[in-house]
Structures are given as structure tokens and as C-alpha cells.
A and B are shown apart, each in its own frame.
Chain A
């Protein structure tokens, strides 16, 4: 078995973790106070995107109304202010991930773009025909399709680490799939469809034994678990700002300096250059080499504010609270014999995918919505996961630190309603 992950908060096990005050925290989120269909909103679609605390909204407002300007090139005061704020946000991301240097933090649009950047740039530089890329059966489409695109271009083979019915990767199979042909491994840290936490630290160690670099898709883990890229020793780590209580349109790529330095630019344009002539262009240093054009300045600043916000609560406290919610929700929905939980991995975070009898998840979603309960239904951009489990879709409740047990009780009562409609 794989040893426990020191890079992950083992939810609820740290005796020093101070429980968070969820009712006080909810006061920070204006949207959570609203009603839907005349009922208090119960927002359980946090794996899709998260709501924003006032601190993030204020930071955006302040950025646009206080010191907005273009960054890096201006000599005027506003530009210096905006540049400082933007680069401060980069430092916050660096600290959040415990990266070695800000040079290792590239701002992108989202986790998807970060993966595309790596697939395209690393792929062009280092991958050759016949090479194999290893991903897992639990991947989101964002960590499948970019590899297929570069794979088609370069003649690469995509191989998939299988999983069991509980939604756990077959870790005995994994080392056998790391062959001399394997040139890259890309793994989801936390499955968006099933909630499985993959033992990525150990999987990275095994890949590194064979000299294979690893990308970790942290779109779901960064907002919910403590992440330490140095402890994980991953070569790349990606996440999206909007799932971390920050703005949309801003994401992060962490990459080890040794790789980013040697990788070609992803896009060309302004800001990513050192010197341009019609004969030859010299590229800027990292991370700017990968940030062509005017970036999402306010978005980065908003993400910085979101990071400040979650760090003030504490990632351990967040993970512990969400773990408690998951356990409670699992109990609540299990009271109904018609409910089947999809994804029963031993190591799981705040995602509860489920089915109710033969009722289609889409119908479940509509009925829950009428009760003010927002969940996601469908394949969750993970069609191969659904195919593997032989189901077209699931209903998925996903939790954040601002959710309460009372909300889960409402989820339970709403499931009762679904059963009444379809009795």
C-alpha cells in the first residue's frame, strides 16, 4: 500500500486544527444570502465553480477603481502600482503552493490552459514519435484532450492507468505501465467526478525513479487540500482561480524552473519578448516568456486576495470541515435505500456523486433546483469515468468550507422530494 501523503492534509486527523466558524464565514459571501425559487440557496456545485468572498470582490473593485493600468512597461505611477500588485499576487501563489521561486509561477486563463501550455510546449520540445504519455482513468477532459492533440501531431501514444469500481486507481498496475517508452505522466490530484484523492506523491516518486516528469492537475485539490509542490516534487501543477474562490479567467501553472527554462514559448506577442527584430526575436525570461499579451491583471490580483482569504482560514481547517461534511452527507443520503453513491474510494474529498434508483440525474437536478439546491448533473466532463462505471451520468453534490450540515439536511429532504415525484 501507498504510505500516507504528508503533502495532503489528512482531514480531521490534525489535533491542532482549529475548527472554522462556518456561520461567520458565510457572512463574507454575498451570494450565499440569496434565495432561489423562493427558498434559501443551497450551493453544492463547488467542484464546478465557487462563490466569491467580499474580500475578492473588494480587491477587484480596488484594482479597477484605485490603481488600474497596464503592467510591466509603463514608467508612470499607476503602472508601477498595478505591476507591484500583479507581481505580489504571483508571490502569494508561490507561497500558497510552496514553490521555490516566483519564476516558477505562470499566470494562465485556467487549469485547462495551463495543461494545454505544457502539452503543447513540453510536447514540441521533448516528445518524439512513439513516446508514451500516461494519464489515469479518472481524468477530466482537460487532462485528456490536450494530450490527444499533441499526440496526434507528434505520433504519441496515450496510455491510461485503470481504476476499480470504487474509483481508485490500480496502483499495482501503475509501475508496470512506466516503461522506457513513457515520457510523461499527467495525473489528477482529486477526481472532480468521484472525489477520489490520488496518492500523487508516491506516484510521482515512482515516475521520477525512471526519470519521467509528472504534471498534477490540481483544479480540484488546490481549493480543498493543502498543496506543497516541493513536498509532492511534481514537475508541473495546475489550478484555476475561479474554483479557489477567485475570479474567472485566471489560472496558474507551476513548473519547475529547469523545465520552464528549456520549454519554448506557448504563444507569441507582447510582454513575452526580450528583443524583437524582423530577423530574430529573443524571448523574455520565465515566467514572462509564457505570458504573451496583456494578462488578466485584476484577475491575478483577485486570485491573490482569494489566496489570502483561504490561508487566513487555514487549508487544514478547510479540509477537515469539508471532510466532516462529506461524511455527514454520505450518512444522510445513505438513509434512502434508492440512493447509490458513485465513487467510494477510501481516500476521498468533498465530492458526492450519486444516483437515485432509475431516475435520471437530469431529473434529480431539476427537482433539487426547485428546492433551492444547486448541484451538477451529467458526466462532469469525465465521460471516460462514466463509461468505465457503465453509467451515463451522475448527480453530484460538491462541498466548500462555507457549506453547513443544515444545508446537507436540505439536500436529504430534497432527495425525498425526488422520490415523491417519481414514486
Chain B
């Protein structure tokens, strides 16, 4: 049960139940759609950039607890960060959930995102945790084609 408790931590369940920054952002400067064909998760990320800084980020869609909580946490943490900072954060987050690095090396600066470290024990769920981030990347590149985790 302990791996499961690590995966479905209180903060994950909370962000799944009450996702933050959920909804359409009318004043978005860019947006992108993401899709995970494995489980049918769909997400749209809306971004309002000023210069190279993220002023606002929201998301819409439906997905599992991991994917919803990850999206919710992401929209909180990237607010106010520059595009370069966001990209660096994604790389570190990716390492966190895929188990690329020792946990202790990664934890600094990841804040609440650490709650998703439990995903590394569930390789089938990595795509759930990273869908929002991949879609965010696409929005930053202002791609028009939907991204897919496949």
C-alpha cells in the first residue's frame, strides 16, 4: 500500500478534487491542446505571456487524478516564471517522475511538484503526469497541432 500512498498523496487528491486555475483564459496569448491516447485524457493549456514571462496559466479538460493534479500544480508553480525557467523546471520535473535522478538531488526548488515523485514507481502513469507539461511546451512554441504523449 505504501507505493500507492506515495502516488495518491493528500495534495494530489486535493488538487484533483479542487483543481486550481481550471477554466478557459479569455485573454490568453497562446494555447495548445494535448491528448493521451492511452487513457483518453484531454487537456487545453492557456497562457498569457508578457514578454518572456508567464503572467497567467489555466487549463481545461478531463483526465485522471494524476494528470489533473499535475496540471493544477503546474499552473500554480509557473506563474511569474520566465520561459527559460519554465523549461528548466519541466526538465527537472521530468527527471523527478521518470526516476532519472536520485530524489534528493531533485527536490530543491520543485516545491509542491515533489508530491508527484511517487509516479516514478508507476511507469505506466508517467504520461499522465507529464501531459500538462508537454502541452505547455507546445503552447510556448505556439504549435497548432495537438500534442500527443505517444
Per the bound structure, the CA–CA distance linking A383 and B62 in Å amounts to: 15
Q: Tell me, yes or no, whether A393 is within 8 Å of chain B by CB.
A: yes
Q: Which residues of B contact A64 (CB under 8 A)?
A: none
Q: Tell me, yes or no, whether B27 is within 8 Å of chain A by CB.
A: no
Q: Which residues of A contact B7 (CB under 8 A)?
A: 366
Q: Which residues of A contact B3 (CB under 8 A)?
A: 370
Q: Tell me, yes or no, whether A386 is within 8 Å of chain B by CB.
A: yes
Are the C-beta atoms of A393 and B39 separated by less than 8 Å? yes
Are the C-beta atoms of A360 and B42 separated by less than 8 Å? no
Q: Tell me, yes or no, whether B94 is within 8 Å of chain A by CB.
A: no
Q: Tell me, yes or no, whether A367 is within 8 Å of chain B by CB.
A: yes
Contacting A at CB under 8 A, from B45-93, are 62-68
Per the bound structure, the CA–CA distance linking A422 and B128 in Å amounts to: 17
Per the bound structure, the CA–CA distance linking A386 and B125 in Å amounts to: 21
Per the bound structure, the CA–CA distance linking A363 and B8 in Å amounts to: 9
Are the C-beta atoms of B39 and A378 separated by less than 8 Å? yes
B7 → A minimal CB distance (Å): 7
Contacting A at CB under 8 A, from B107-124, are 122, 124
Are the C-beta atoms of B4 and A363 separated by less than 8 Å? no
Out of B1, B13, B38, B66, name the residue touching A378 (CB < 8 Å): B38
Per the bound structure, the CA–CA distance linking A219 and B67 in Å amounts to: 32
A163 → B minimal CB distance (Å): 19
Per the bound structure, the CA–CA distance linking A363 and B38 in Å amounts to: 13
Q: Given A421-B8, A422-B13, decide whether A366 and B39 contact each other with a Cβ distance below 8 A.
A: no
Size range of the interface on A?
Answer: 10 to 19
Closest to B125 in A: A366
Q: Given A360-B63, A363-B66, decide whether A393 and B4 contact each other with a Cβ distance below 8 A.
A: no
Q: Which residues of B contact A422 (CB under 8 A)?
A: 8, 13, 65
Q: Tell me, yes or no, whether B95 is within 8 Å of chain A by CB.
A: no
Chain A 320-342 interface mask (CB, 8 Å, partner B; 1/0) = 00000000000000000000000
Q: Which residues of A contact B8 (CB under 8 A)?
A: 363, 367, 421-422
Q: Which residues of B contact A386 (CB under 8 A)?
A: 40
Are the C-beta atoms of B40 and A393 separated by less than 8 Å? yes
Are the C-beta atoms of A360 and B64 separated by less than 8 Å? yes
Q: Which residues of A contact B4 (CB under 8 A)?
A: 366-367, 370, 421
Q: Which residues of A contact B65 (CB under 8 A)?
A: 359-360, 363, 422
Q: Which residues of B contact A90 (CB under 8 A)?
A: none
Contacting B at CB under 8 A, from A389-423, are 392-393, 421-422
Are the C-beta atoms of B122 and A378 separated by less than 8 Å? no
Per the bound structure, the CA–CA distance linking A377 and B39 in Å amounts to: 7
Contacting A at CB under 8 A, from B3-29, are 3-4, 7-8, 13
* Max chain B C-beta neighbours (<10 A), residue from A383, A386, A392, A422: A392
A369 → B minimal CB distance (Å): 9
Q: Which residues of B contact A392 (CB under 8 A)?
A: 39-42, 62
Q: Given A363-B64, A367-B4, decide whether A379 and B124 contact each other with a Cβ distance below 8 A.
A: no
Q: Which residues of B contact A361 (CB under 8 A)?
A: 39, 64
Are the C-beta atoms of A370 and B1 separated by less than 8 Å? yes
Q: Which residues of A contact B128 (CB under 8 A)?
A: 362
Per the bound structure, the CA–CA distance linking A359 and B65 in Å amounts to: 8
Per the bound structure, the CA–CA distance linking A422 and B68 in Å amounts to: 14
Contacting B at CB under 8 A, from A358-390, are 359-363, 366-367, 370, 377-379, 383, 386
Q: Which residues of B contact A421 (CB under 8 A)?
A: 4, 8, 13
Q: Which residues of B contact A393 (CB under 8 A)?
A: 39-40
Per the bound structure, the CA–CA distance linking A138 and B101 in Å amounts to: 45
A142 → B minimal CB distance (Å): 16
Q: Which residues of B contact A363 (CB under 8 A)?
A: 8, 64-66
Closest to B38 in A: A378
Q: Which residues of A contact B68 (CB under 8 A)?
A: 360
A413 → B minimal CB distance (Å): 13
Q: Which residues of B contact A370 (CB under 8 A)?
A: 1, 3-4
Closest to A386 in B: B40
Chain A positions within 8 Å of B, measured between CB atoms, are: 359-363, 366-367, 370, 377-379, 383, 386, 392-393, 421-422
23 CB contacts below 8 A, A to B, read: A359-B65, A360-B39, A360-B67, A361-B64, A362-B64, A362-B125, A363-B8, A363-B64, A363-B65, A366-B7, A366-B125, A370-B1, A370-B3, A377-B39, A378-B38, A378-B39, A379-B40, A383-B40, A386-B40, A392-B39, A421-B8, A421-B13, A422-B8
New contact pairs (5) apart from A360-B39, A367-B4, CB-CB < 8 Å: A359-B65, A361-B64, A377-B39, A379-B40, A421-B8
Closest 7 CB pairs of A and B: A360-B64, A362-B64, A392-B40, A362-B39, A393-B40, A363-B65, A363-B64
